[in-house]
Amino acid sequence: LSAHCRPPIVAPARTALAAAAAALAAGRLVGLPTETVYGLAGAAGDALAVARIFAAKGRPAFNPLIVHVPDLPAAGRLGQLTDAARALAEAFWPGPLTLVVPRRADSGLADLVSAGLDTIALRVPAHPVARALLRTAGLPIAAPSANPSGRLSPTRAADVAGAFDAAQLSLVLDGGPCPIGVESAIVGFAGERPVLLRQGGIAEEELEAVCGPLGRPGDDRVQAPGMLLSHYAPAARLRLDAAAAEPGEALLAFGPTVPACAGPVRNLSPAGDPVEAAANLFRMLRELDALADRIAVMPVPRAGLGAAINDRLARAAAPR
């Protein structure tokens, strides 16, 4: 694609928010910053808009979308939240948490949003630009991560504008780099007990402190259909848990002690902080992907956000 048919990147001034809201109302898509990653946003009640999201991403029709709402009462109008779901929502919304709950029959959402399931994924984002657009547009917003299906998630406006053309995407609201950098944690409430469907921007330990032990996908009938083994994939091949880079490899490092490397190096967190590492993960993978065919990745501890980082790295390294 040539640069002139890319969607424009716009500062989130009042006029740009109004333009974005008008685009959503007209069934068109906009690039939306959230605290986790950028979303490919469309009106969740508009079947055509939702179909455009699936088409633009090349997303399989069995993989449902997350619906973004301004607050807990708005979520309660779309889905049935149990007391345990409500407790998590009150503790972590607005923030990087998605709840999968039974969908209300009168939700007004397009059927395609939940890909034929009787549940709906709901999230109240914390990013001020996402909140401003939800307020201005006044409708629930369906937004998967704004990357072609299976590829690295976007954490900067330019990542989004570079992946779509202006016919697919009206504009990208520029909210700066996403502060958390990995997608929301997803907890499913459709079965007997809550299940952690996706590790994400809130650590499992923090979630369990509020709602008790979380089951694993497969413990119950609930699954996140999008949790495919190969996902978040750069073009380069990844080698995980590497002590050092071999000749021809770039190095994705973690922590204060970085082995010598002849190729390009990025350090997720020189201080060894998993929060900083999560914020840098997708950007640094993109940068090294542009510079090398093979990337050695140093081990990242699994505590806190380290679990989500390891999940993304394992899927990025998976055979495809």
| Site for ligand TXA, rule CB under 6 A | 34, 36-37, 39, 63-66, 96, 98, 100, 114, 117, 119-121, 123, 143-145, 183-184, 186, 188, 197-198, 224-227
CB closer to ligand TXA, 145 vs 310 = 145
Which option in ligand TXA, Mg ion, none does residue 25 bind, with CB closer than 5 to 8 A by kind? none
Considering the complex, what minimum distance in angstroms separates the CB of residue 151 from ligand TXA?
Answer: 11
Considering the complex, what minimum distance in angstroms separates the CB of residue 225 from Mg ion?
Answer: 12
Q: Compute the distance between CA of residue 309 and CA of residue 272 in angstroms, rounded to an integer.
A: 13
Query: For residue 77, what are its two tokens?
Result: 């109008």
36 scored as a contact of Mg ion (CB under 5 A): no
For residue 4, count CB atoms less than 10 angstroms from its CB and return exposed for 0-12, middle for 13-18, buried for 19 or more: exposed
The upper half-sphere exposure of residue 160, i.e. CA atoms within 13 Å in the direction of its Cβ, equals 35
Which option in Mg ion, ligand TXA, none does residue 269 bind, with CB closer than 5 to 8 A by kind? none
Considering the complex, what minimum distance in angstroms separates the CB of residue 174 from ligand TXA?
Answer: 15
CA 236 vs CA 48, 151, 201, 232, 317: distances in Å? 35, 11, 25, 11, 9
Beginning with the edge strand found earlier in the chain, give each strand of the sheet holding 249-253 in spatial order. Answer: 237-239, 294-297, 249-253, 265-267
CB closer to ligand TXA, 197 vs 281 = 197
Which option in Mg ion, ligand TXA, none does residue 36 bind, with CB closer than 5 to 8 A by kind? ligand TXA
155 scored as a contact of Mg ion (CB under 5 A): no
CB closer to ligand TXA, 113 vs 238 = 113
E strand spans, 112-184 = 119-123, 141-142, 171-173
